[in-house]
Structure 1
Amino acid sequence: MADRIVLHVGPHKTGSTALQHMFATNRRVLARYGIHYPITGLDGAAHQDVARACWGKDSSLLLDLANEMAEHDTVFISSELISALDMKGLKRLRSAFGETRVEIIYVIRRLPNLLASHWRELIKHGQKLSFEEYLENAVVDTGRPNLVPPLPMLHLDRLCRFFGSDTLRILCYDARNSEVENYGQDFVDDIFGIGHEDVFRTKQLNTTAQDWQVELGRHMNILGNTTLNYPQRLNLRKKLFERIADDMLDWMPGFAAQYDAAVPITLSDQTDWIAQEQEAVAQTYGSHFVDPVESYLAPTEQQIRQLPLGMLSPQLRSDISFLFNELAANLDPFPPTG
């Protein structure tokens, strides 16, 4: 078994995709510093299959991972799905690592920004949840962890229970993401102390859409055909945003104007349950922050507007359904997911 395992657990919407792409494409550079980024468990650039194995879908993969890790001194694993593992899954992961000391790297983000970004991402992945329904999942166990808002106290408490609080380091996304290119360089230097090589620069990879476009995508999820598989649904949202950028249809400005006139839902650091969550994190885990705790507690606000389906005219519903069918008709039955 390796002498040191560094586990980057995300969570979602904290720059993980850009970091993982950087790690995967620079495995040889990391190896020069004695850091091994395993092949076992990779799904694209991230070790998502390691987390899935901990949910019991392929426990043999964990044995394969242990065999690969045995040949290296320092092993680095990255998967934002690990932060969402329940107690049973984390116990299985801890057992797979034997007696080797595990270091946990958790990237925290101001909650109003994190929740808004995570909800938008779920819509791009084909979900139909309104923002209010999404927030309700923060306090209700739906049995669907992929739809639960990524609240840090739950994650940190569970991780520390199995790996120990002395293994935890917390990086603040908001403190270090002013320059996207430097994000990866700073991350690698803070965790491994190996400087600022140019290969560790990062770039934004996820598609950024305007808020009204995300809401249009949500209504496409509601009104569209549900027979598409997951990769197709994800690819459909990508094609929607590309279509809007290339050729906005004549009814879209009206949709955007109606969206802009809707009353927003406001989340801020002063929202009661958000303030309580962030303060609890600061009090309980403040000593584990690599960045100043104040960078996490700084004032911030997000506004999300919603257009209930009943507010859309029959013609607008028809236009959205027609666009969905047009885009869906040209989808690859099995598009790549990487």
Structure 2
Amino acid sequence: MVEARQRLYLHIGTHKTGSSSLQHYLGAQRKTLVSHGFAYFTGAYEPDNHVEFFAIALRADREAFSRAKYGIEQTDKALAAAAANFQEFRQANQKQALIVSTEGLSLLRHDDEVERLNTILGAEMLDIVPILVLRDKAAFLKSFRKQILKHADRELSNDPASINYVEQDSWLADFGAIKSLWRKHFGENALRIIDYDQAMKRDEDVLPAALKAMDLPESFIPVAGSVRLNTDTFKARIKRFLRKVGLGS
């Protein structure tokens, strides 16, 4: 008899589709999730946004904001450490369905990048359900452009290969390439796709659709049509401000 593999819901983004709200919500509900049979991973660099998964999986010569921010390197040592950390989490939650979220995974474009991700996850022991959130391409690029310009140390690029290139032919908005890669490695029917624009029109928030895609119970999902949840709390904003001015840890 073949033993059933542990389920992993892998939220892969894309950027600018409510990922932070989803991550804050799941992070704040860790204890409640366990009571429902789910476990939300705690990241090594950000507790709720598991940036190491994509920062280590990406080819060493490719750009990733989190690499510069946290000094994450794509090395065998980093790969082994991330794998050991995740396997410790998996072993501690063998009876739970697992959840990982980082929108940076939508930046993966190459087979070897997915192979490194699979090494970190121990994919052979898991039933992986990738969850992709897509929005109108023009709106996505406009929002991504604003995000770049919010940071004084970033600037727009004319290089089509750059992560800061946001013209209409940007590789960032090649959603077909994202879908093809994930279906190739995890199966045609494994990938779950959420239409961000439809979710916003229906629920005024993408959060309910994302949680439903993870097969979470109805009792855990905010009521559709309710006021958009502001999961980025006042306390969290104060902490970020203090860190920015050098007063926080």
Query: TM-score, normalized by length of structure 2?
Result: 0.71
Instruction: Describe the SS at the equivalent of 2:140.
Output: helix
Corresponding position: 1:94 with 2:118 = yes
Letter in 2 for 1:91: E
Equivalent residue, structure 1, for 2:49: 46
Equivalent residue, structure 2, for 1:15: 18
Equivalent residue, structure 1, for 2:161: 141
Equivalent residue, structure 2, for 1:162: 185
Instruction: Describe the SS at the equivalent of 1:6.
Output: strand
Equivalent residue, structure 1, for 2:37: 34
Query: TM-score, normalized by length of structure 1?
Result: 0.54
Structure 1 residue corresponding to 2:138, chosen from 112, 116, 124: 112
Supply the distance in 2 between the matched residues of 1:181 and 1:20 (Cα, whole angstroms): 18
1:187-266 paired onto structure 2 within 5 Å: 187-197=210-220, 203-204=229-230
Find runs of 4+ consecutive structure 1 residues off by over 6 angstroms.
198-201
In the TM superposition, what whole-angstrom CA distance separates every residue of 1:244-293 from its partner, at most 9, and x where no partner exists?
A: xxxxxxxxxxxxxxxxxxxxxxxxxxxxxxxxxxxxxxxxxxxxxxxxxx
Q: Deviation of residue 39 (structure 1)?
A: 1.7
Answer yes or no: is the 8 Å Cα contact 1:40–1:64 preserved in 2.
Answer: no
More helix by share: 1
Corresponding position: 1:332 with 2:245 = yes
Supply the distance in 2 between the matched residues of 1:75 and 1:2 (Cα, whole angstroms): 11
Instruction: Describe the SS at the equivalent of 1:13.
Output: coil
Supply the distance in 2 between the matched residues of 1:164 and 1:146 (Cα, whole angstroms): 30
Instruction: Describe the SS at the equivalent of 2:218.
Output: coil
Supply the distance in 2 between the matched residues of 1:2 and 1:181 (Cα, whole angstroms): 35
Same amino acid, percent of matched pairs: 19
Answer yes or no: is the 8 Å Cα contact 1:24–1:37 preserved in 2.
Answer: yes
Q: Deviation of residue 181 (structure 1)?
A: 6.5
- Classify 1:29/1:23 alpha carbon distance in 2 versus 1 (closer, same or farther; 3 Å): same
Equivalent residue, structure 1, for 2:87: 66
User: Root-mean-square deviation (CA), in Å?
Assistant: 3.1
Instruction: Describe the SS at the equivalent of 1:39.
Output: coil
Q: Deviation of residue 146 (structure 1)?
A: 8.9
Structure with the bigger RCO (C-alpha within 8 Å, sep 6+) is 2
Answer yes or no: is the 8 Å Cα contact 1:107–1:172 preserved in 2.
Answer: yes
Structure 1: segments with no counterpart, 5+ residues:
207-234, 239-330
Computing the radius of gyration from Cα coordinates, the structure with the larger value is: 1
In the alignment of these two chains, the number of paired residues is 207
- Classify 1:182/1:112 alpha carbon distance in 2 versus 1 (closer, same or farther; 3 Å): closer
Instruction: Describe the SS at the equivalent of 2:206.
Output: helix
- Classify 1:116/1:334 alpha carbon distance in 2 versus 1 (closer, same or farther; 3 Å): farther
Instruction: Choose 98-107 or 66-75, whichever is displaced more.
Output: 66-75
- Classify 1:177/1:3 alpha carbon distance in 2 versus 1 (closer, same or farther; 3 Å): same
Letter in 2 for 1:97: G
Structure 2: segments with no counterpart, 5+ residues:
59-73, 233-239
- Classify 1:113/1:26 alpha carbon distance in 2 versus 1 (closer, same or farther; 3 Å): same
Answer yes or no: is the 8 Å Cα contact 1:11–1:80 preserved in 2.
Answer: yes
Supply the distance in 2 between the matched residues of 1:198 and 1:166 (Cα, whole angstroms): 24
